[in-house]
Amino acid sequence: MTTWHGLIDSRYRRWLPVTDATPSVSLHEGATPLLRSAHLSTLTGCDVWLKVEGANPTGSFKDRGMTVAVSRAAESGAELVLCASTGNTSASAAAYAARAGLAAAVLVPRGAVALGKLGQAVRYGARVVEIAGTFDDCLRAARELAAHHPVALVNSVRNELRLAGQRTVAYEIVDALGDAPDVHCLPVGNGGNITATWQGYRAYAAEGLAGGVPRMWGFQAAGAAPLVRGAPVADPATEATAIRVGHPATWDGAVGARDESGGLIAAVTDEQIFAAYRAVARHDGVFAEPASAAGIAGLLDRHRRGLLPSGLRVVITLSGNGLKDADAALRGGYAPVETTAATADVARALRLAA
Ligand code: F0G
């Protein structure tokens, strides 16, 4: 068994925009679990797999791109890493900056970031700027700052480095399954991940490493679904805060992934997202953050509408870890049994037979 040292020092290195001069800033991201879901397979009549991206070092898929972006930022002599974020990108940027000995600043929408993500950014030592506005406002400010100041912007906007790193998820999936799946489902916010995942499948197929490519099925929250509407949303609304994005930066990439793959980008309601979030924890033992579950919600929605042929092999990206948003886990419907520490009382509380 070989030991895993992260993406840059893995067999995927040749696909990444690094050279011998690039320092490898890594937390050993990648190589995440690909689990077969017996529950979803039985429910849908498909062969359904979960790519558990919450198992990355900072708890989301963002680490795949951030190892590349921050390694290159360090190589270029940057001193400050900057990003706008709904939470996960900021946690990841802050962690990799800490690892590289760089300063980090993150712009986040005030009151709209899950507590765990904020806690990560703070503890990794980032300067956190809470902005009175949406994620889209944060991103605009970050881009303008980067245009006029010597900072390394690590958002995926015009950041080929992030997307190159995020493509590796497709390589891992094809290597694990022996071929590309028929369908790949995932949540869509700013549009970077559907773009990168599609590019990864295409690159592998172009080199003959996969027999084909999947259809890309992306899902947005109904209150924050600009790509479904075909126009930006000024006031995006969803409890799945990670994907509360009204004006995706990688708009063309996301639409391209949809159209080139013969796929779709559709909306799912918060109710569907949260039902999927609860079900994947309960039935598969995977605690993913709410936005993460949009891919499952979307697959089940297609199934319910009779739009999912049986027998397909489906991979679903679970993009972030449930621990990031423990509040969401306990919201509505937590009923602990309280008792003393006396064994007999505990037995009674558990309704154990005498
Ligand atoms: N899932 C999670 C958990 C996310 O954090 C994000 C994006 C997405 C899905 C959507 O991916 O933006 O590439 O379409 N989070 C960004 C952030 C916006 O700032 O952390 P996308």
Per residue, the 3-state secondary structure of the chain, as one string, reads CCCCCCCCCCCCHHHCCCCCCCCCCCCCCCCCCEEECHHHHHHHCCEEEEEEHHHCCCCECHHHHHHHHHHHHHHCCCCEEEEECCCHHHHHHHHHHHHHCCEEEEEEECCCCCHHHHHHHHHCCCEEEEECCCHHHHHHHHHHHHHHCCCEECCCCCCHHHHHHHCHHHHHHHHHHCCCCCEEEEECCCCHHHHHHHHHHHHHHHCCCCCCCCEEEEEEEHHHCHHHHCCCCCCCCCCCHHHCCCCCCCHHHHHHHHHHCCCEEEEECHHHHHHHHHHHHHHHCCCECHHHHHHHHHHHHHHHCCCCCCCCEEEEEECEEHHHHHHHHHCCCCCCCCCCCCHHHHHHHCCCCC
Each residue's pLDDT tens digit, 161-202 = 999 999 999 999 999 999 999 999 999 999 999 999 999 999
Q: What does the pLDDT average to over 336-341?
A: 94
Name the percent of the chain lying above pLDDT 90: 94
**pLDDT tens string 31-65:** 999 999 999 999 999 999 999 999 999 999 999 99
Q: How far is the CA of 242 from the centre of ligand 1 (A)?
A: 5
Q: What is the ipTM of this complex?
A: 0.99
Distance 113 CA to ligand 1 centre (A): 12
Task: Tell me whether strands 183-187 and 152-153 are parallel, antiparallel or unpaired.
Answer: unpaired
Give distance in angstroms: CA of 188 to centre of ligand 1. 7
In the predicted structure, residue 274 carries a pLDDT above the cut 80: yes
Specify the range with the lowest mean pLDDT, choosing from 135-144, 149-158, 164-173: 149-158
Residues forming CATH 3.40.50.1100 domain(s) in the chain: 13-58+161-330, 62-159
Q: What is the pLDDT of residue 222?
A: 98
Question: Which of 63, 83, 88 to mutate to test ligand 1, by most ligand atoms within 8 A of the CB atom?
Answer: 88
The band of 2, judged by pLDDT with boundaries at 50, 70 and 90, is confident
Q: What is the mean pLDDT of the chain?
A: 96
- Report residues whose beta carbon is within 6 angstroms of any ligand 1 atom: 60, 62, 85-89, 187-193, 242-243, 245, 289, 291-292, 319-320
The atom of ligand 1 lying closest to the CA of 254 is: 14
In the reported structure, the alpha carbon of residue 62 is separated from the centroid of ligand 1 by a whole-number distance in angstroms of 8
Confidence grade of residue 158 (pLDDT, cut at 50, 70, 90): low
Query: Does residue 157 register a pLDDT over 90?
Result: no
What pLDDT score was predicted for residue 255?
A: 98
Cβ atoms within 10 Å of 22's Cβ, excluding its own: 16
Does residue 303 have a pLDDT over 80? yes
Burial per residue of 44-56, b for 16 or more beta-carbon CB atoms within 10 angstroms, e otherwise: bebbbbbbbbbbb
pLDDT at 1 over 60: no
For residue 354, pLDDT beyond 80: no
CB 229 within 8 Å of CB 242: no
Query: What is the model's pLDDT at position 159?
Result: 78
Atom of ligand 1 at shortest range from CA of 190: 12
3-state secondary structure 221-247: EHHHCHHHHCCCCCCCCCCCHHHCCCC
* Backbone Cα Rg of the chain: 20
pLDDT at 62: 98
Residue nearest to ligand 1 atom 12, measured at CA: 190
Q: Pick 13-58+161-330's CATH classification: 3.40.50.1100, 3.40.50.620, 1.10.287.10, 1.10.1510.10.
A: 3.40.50.1100
pLDDT of residue 353: 81
What's the CA-to-centroid distance between 107 and ligand 1, angstroms? 15
Probe target for ligand 1 pocket from 58, 63, 81, 86, with the most ligand atoms within 8 Å of CB = 86
Q: What is the torsion angle, in degrees rounded to the nearest 10, for the CA atoms of residue 98, residue 101, residue 102 and residue 104?
A: 20
Question: Ligand 1: which atom is nearest the Cα of residue 89?
Answer: 20
The Å distance, Cα 205 to ligand 1 centre, comes to: 26
Ligand 1 atom closest to the CA of 156, numbered from 1: 13
Substitution candidate for ligand 1 out of 52, 56, 60, 107 with most atoms within 8 A of CB:
60
CA of 243 to the centre of ligand 1 (A): 6
| Distance in Å, CA 338 to ligand 1 centroid | 38
Closest atom, ligand 1, to C-alpha of 155: 19
pLDDT at 320: 98
**Centre of ligand 1 from the C-alpha of residue 112, in Å:** 13
* Closest atom of ligand 1 relative to the 85 alpha carbon: 19
Candidates 3.90.870.30, 3.40.50.1100, 3.40.50.280, 3.40.50.720; CATH matching 62-159: 3.40.50.1100
Kindly give the distance from the C-alpha atom of residue 171 to the centroid of ligand 1, in angstroms, as a whole number: 20
Digit-coded pLDDT (tens) for 57-108: 999 999 999 999 999 999 999 989 999 999 999 999 999 999 999 999 999 9
Ligand 1 atom nearest to CA at 189: 14
pLDDT number for residue 333:
74
Residue 4 pLDDT more than 80? yes
Please state the atom number of ligand 1 nearest to the C-alpha of residue 187.
9
